[in-house]
Structures are given as structure tokens and as C-alpha cells.
Chain A
Amino acid sequence: MPHTLMDLWYGFTIALQPSNLMWSVFGVLIGNLIGVLPGMGALSTISMLLPLTYVIPPVPAILMLAGIFYGSQYGGAIGAILLNLPSHPPHAVTCLDGYPLTKMGKGGTALGITMMSSFFAASVGIIVMIFMSPLLVQIAFKFGPTEICSIMLLGLLAGATMSRGSPLKGVAMTVFGLLCGVVGTDVTSGTMRFNFGSNELSDGVELGALCMGLFGIADFLVSVNRTEVKASDAKVSMRDMRPSRAEIKQAFMPMLRGTMVGTLFGAMPGTGPTITTFIAYALERKISKTPERFGKGALEGVASPEAASHSKTQVDFIPTMSLGIPGDAVMALILGALVIKGVQPGPQLITEHPDIFWGLIASFWIGNLLLVVLNVPMIGVWVKLLQVPYRFLFPAAVFFICIGVYSTKNSLFDVAEVGVFGIIGAIFLSLDFPVSPIVLGYVLGPMLEENFRRALLLSRGDMSVFLTRPISAWFIGACTLLIVAQVVAYARRVRLPQQQPVAELATE
């Protein structure tokens, strides 16, 4: 315990070093700025700025990426509440009650409550992360390739089936992502796989190109000339944002419950943030004495999901950093950036790179505090930014994407790759396939293959090793449970076609 506090103190000294602090502030600011812009979420922002991390050392790079992530979450809530525009899917549920509040002239209060809940939930998440990670690391040291394989399988399966829309389509996209990870030279034998005879592809698909194609270009292709973004005439001043004592009291318990939901789900690899916010919202409506107020501007319906999404974000870093298994696509991107920087995430990370781990934790607090301080006076600027028309936004973004990908390796081939993944992503999106599992599969694919091969080499080709080693057996058991649950849910849907589960509401 005193040891942990010492480590935390060490983290603060790292995070407060001027160069690290500067990148962290930069990430938070840019994340917040781009998160506010309609149609830009954490994923597109991080992938756009990913190339920048190649030129700076690992510690500030990771602090910046994390800053972008939670910065864009704060920013996204602004668009959701004031404009009814969820730029990041988890905010879809915030729209349900946030926008009615704006129409009632209480948009400022809703934003204030959101910020309060976010900060509180993030703080709880950070504390959980501080005390859970070392514990998890002790278990993680017992992990061999067999266990790593099974937990990755669980993560992939959960990521595929528990996100939005059809679970089968999620699985299909995960497999497609794994395939993208296979492209290039096979590490063990040196065989070129799926490189279509091109030399450039022998290093594999470029992470930045994949993401910007799937989340940038594909999104523009789907929404060009089709989305009508209405301008907001909402005026929010600083004074509006201070909730009254009664309003704080009204939002306090939902905030606590939302934080709990987020923390619980954050610890499970693969559960997406969207599903977490929907569960928090559903829980709040269920235990409320006046459920009819929900959807018409209930503060509880804003406080709880926002708290859930922020505590989940923080807790999500635990499996990502200590096991090397990302919970969702954003975490997969951050993991990918770590790997590019030559830092191998896993149980050794905390002991081998304490500066990254504890510096990151300390920077979370600094960043979250900064966001609260920043957002209150800047709210007028954000409201203005919401009015940048889409027709100017996307051409500028096309150029930023192109030059960003180019700068990674000074390769125009990678820019062409963005175009190809844009087309692929647009086709999948128009057929109602979710694209974010592709990233999860792409990042985990090579690791999964390596560990799978090693596990079977050690067991002399005996597949039963996944069931005879106890930790691995638990994960395989959880996988089986997930599949059985999905089959049962499907069978029920076939029998009772009227009832729609919560997960499907999310796609609306």
C-alpha cells in the first residue's frame, strides 16, 4: 500500500515533467476540440494523430494518445447534448435525455452535470486502476502462451458479440481483422502471405492507414450529401453550467451507480463502451420511481451513462496495459502505438516501464482536471465550433488523413491503402456490418498467431492443453458461455419477434 503511493508519486513526477505535461495538455485539447466537431469521434482523432507519435518518445506519446481519448469523450458529450449529434456511439444514449434538456433551456445544467459525473467517475476508475493493476500483474505472471491465447479469444469474441448489431456480423468482422493482421511476412517461416505480389505489403498493413480508411474515408463516403447537420442556436454561458444544489442531489446517486456499472464492465475485456452506457441508462430507468420522465429530459439519464462511460474508459486501461489485451477498438489503437514504440504490453510492462504506467495514471488525473477547468470557460468556443459546416469539414479531414498517413513512413503507397480501406469500410458499413472489430482483430491477430503456435509447440500439438490448464479452462468456459448466451438469445428472438433487446436499440 505505501509502495503503491510511492509509485503514484513517482508517476506524478513523470507526468509533470514539462515536455510530458505539454504533450498531455496538447492531446487533451486536440481531443476535446475534434471530439466537439460533428462526425469526429475518438477513433478518427487518435488515428489522425497517430503518426505524430512516431517522432516523440514513448512516454509523452502514450500520454498524448490517452489524453486525446478522454478529451474527445468530454467533447463528444457537448455535441450530443446541444445538437442531438452522437459523434461517438457511446454518447447516443446521452442524446436521449441531454437534447430534451437543451430544448428546455437547461443544456448548460446538463453539461455541468456531465462534467461533474465524468470527473467523479474517471477519478474512481483511476483509483481502481491503481490498486487493481498490481494484483492483476501477479496473476498475469502465471500466464503462458496457452492462457494468453484463451484470454485473447475471449476478448475477441466478447468484442465481436457484445458490441452493437448482429453478433454474427461482429464475428465476421473480427475474422476479417485477423486476416488483415496476417498480411505480410510470416515471422516464423519468412513466407509472404497475401501481399498480392507487392513489396510494400511485405511489412504488413499499416495501422494508421487501416484506421483512417475505416473510420475516416469510409464514414465520409457513407455520409456525404446525406447527413443534414442542423446548426445549433443554443447559447450556453459559464453561469448556466453550474447546477443547483437540488440538481446535484438528484444526479448524485445515478452518478454513483453509473460509475459502478462502468467499473464492473471495464474490467471485462471486449465489452464495448456503448453497451456499458446503455446498461447504465436501462438500470437507472428501471429503479427510478418516475420512469416516464426518461427520454424527456431527466438529469439522471445524463449523469449515469456519462459516468459509466468515463469509469469504463479508465478501467479499460487495466487489461490493455497489464495483459496486453485491449477492451475495444480505441484501446487496440493505443496498444498498437505502444507496440510500434517497441514497448511490449503485458505483465512485465509495469516493472519494465514504470515510467509509462505510473506516468499514464498520474496524467489521467491531471488531464481530467484540466478538462473540467478548460471546458467551463471554453464552452462558448465549442458551441461556435459545432457550427462548422460538414461541407468544409470533410475535405479538410481528407487532406489531414492523407498527409498524416504519408508522414508515418514517407510512403505514398500507404495513402493509397487508405483509399482501399475506405472503400472496404464503406461497403461493410452499408451492409450493416460493424467496422470497429476489424481493428481489434488486426492488432491482436499477430499476437494470437504467435502465442497459438507457441502453445501448441509446447504441448506437442495437443489441443486439449487449452482445457487442462486451469486458468485457460476458465477463459474457454467463459467463451462457451458467451456463445451459448447468443444462441439462446437468437432462439428467443425467432420465437418472439416483437421484443427488441437493448443491444439493438443502440444501432438506431
Chain B
Amino acid sequence: MANTLARLQSLSQRFTKDRIGALLLLVLGACVTVTGTTYRIGTLNHMGAGFIPVTLGILLLGVGAAIGLTSAPPKPPSPSDPKPLPPEWRGWLCILGGVAAFVVLGEYGGMMPAIFASVFISAMGDRKNSVRDAALLALAMAIAGALIFSWGLHMQLPLFAWS
């Protein structure tokens, strides 16, 4: 257990932000290049649909490699370094959940439920918001949204769509 922990720690030290970024670009570049070759590449005179994607993929590979090679070597941790922030799962999930709720309820519930849910869920992502605050904010937004978008701008999304 302690062994794996130490190994994880040394791993995270070796992977600075730049190196993770470089790795990401290399993977992305490789995927793009491979997918690009499935479209017709053509010649310089008559380029096919694949020419530009392959070029961009190779460029990404090049830039990724350059970032990886020029990245500063990992420094031994010093107490003066700013502490890495802990992951903020609650905030992240709530904000993305708010967007997802809008998509789902927009389809199956109508505008009012979609607005209420998206505001309420994303508001719960902030630790300082109580359930009551979030609900009140969501209600206010749902009413304002219905007035502006449905009544004012005649948006096609129905206010309520129970099916």
C-alpha cells in the first residue's frame, strides 16, 4: 500500500502540467492523423478531404513533442510551492449536471422544469448555497426565463411538456 502510494507520488512528480499536456496532444494528434488517412488524401494539386486533417494531426504531434521536450524538468517539491488544489467534484458534477438536466428536461419536461433544474442543480455546486437559496434562485430564474423567452421572444420550447 505504502509502496504504491510512493510510486504514485513519484509518478505525479514526473508528470508536470506541461508533460500531461504534451501527452494529451500526442494522443489527440495520433488519433486525428489515423482517422484523417481514412478520408481521401489526394495530391497537392487536387486535395481530398483528408489532406488538411492529416496535416493538422501531424502538426499536433509535432507541437506535442516540442512541448514535451522543452518542458522544465520536475522540481523537487518545496514548501514554498502553492499547494495543488484538491479536486472540486461537487462543483464540477453539479455544473455539468445542470447542463445535462437542461438537455433531458428540455426534451421531456418543457422550459420551466428545465430552467428550474439547471439553475437549482448548478447552484448546489457552490458550498455556500443552501437548498433554500438555490430553490429560490431557481424559481426566480424559471419565472424570469419564461417571461423573457416564452412570452417575450416566442421561443418554440413549450413551457410544460408532460407526455
Contacts and interface: CB of A to CB of B under 8 A. Distances in A.
B25 to A, nearest CB: 6
A302 to B, nearest CB: 29
Of listed B17, B100, B103, residue having the most chain A CB within 10 A: B103
Interface in A184-242: 186, 188-189, 191, 193-194, 217, 220-221, 224-226
A172 B63 contact: yes
A9 interface: no
B128 interface: yes
A256 interface: no
A456 B102 contact: no
A171 interface: yes
Contacts of B149: 403, 407
B11 interface: no
**B contacts with A: majority SS:** helix
B123 to A, nearest CB: 4
Interface in B23-43: 24-25, 28, 32, 35, 39-40, 43
Interface in A428-469: 428, 430-433, 449, 452-453, 456-457, 460-463
A176 B21 contact: no
Contacts of A186: 39, 49
B20 A224 contact: no
Given A396-B141, A407-B149, A431-B20, A460 B99 contact: no
A140 interface: no
Contacts, number: 190
Is the interface on chain B under 10, 10 to 19, 20 to 34, or 35 or more residues?
35 or more
A52 to B, nearest CB: 8
B95 A176 contact: no
Interface in A376-421: 389-392, 394-396, 398-399, 401-403, 406-407, 410, 412, 415-416, 418-419
Contacts of B141: 395-396, 399
A416 to B, nearest CB: 5
Contacts of A175: 56, 59-60, 63
Nearest to B20: A431
Is the interface on chain A under 10, 10 to 19, 20 to 34, or 35 or more residues?
35 or more
B110 interface: no
A395 B99 contact: no
28 contacts: A168-B70, A179-B60, A188-B47, A188-B49, A189-B40, A189-B48, A189-B49, A191-B49, A224-B95, A389-B128, A392-B133, A395-B122, A395-B123, A395-B129, A395-B138, A399-B145, A402-B98, A403-B102, A406-B155, A407-B155, A419-B99, A419-B100, A422-B99, A423-B96, A428-B21, A456-B45, A461-B44, A490-B70
Interface of B: 17-18, 20-21, 24-25, 28, 32, 35, 39-40, 43-53, 56, 59-60, 63-64, 66-67, 70, 85, 88, 90-92, 94-96, 98-100, 102-103, 106-107, 111, 114-115, 118-120, 122-123, 125-129, 133-134, 137-138, 141, 145, 149, 153, 155-157
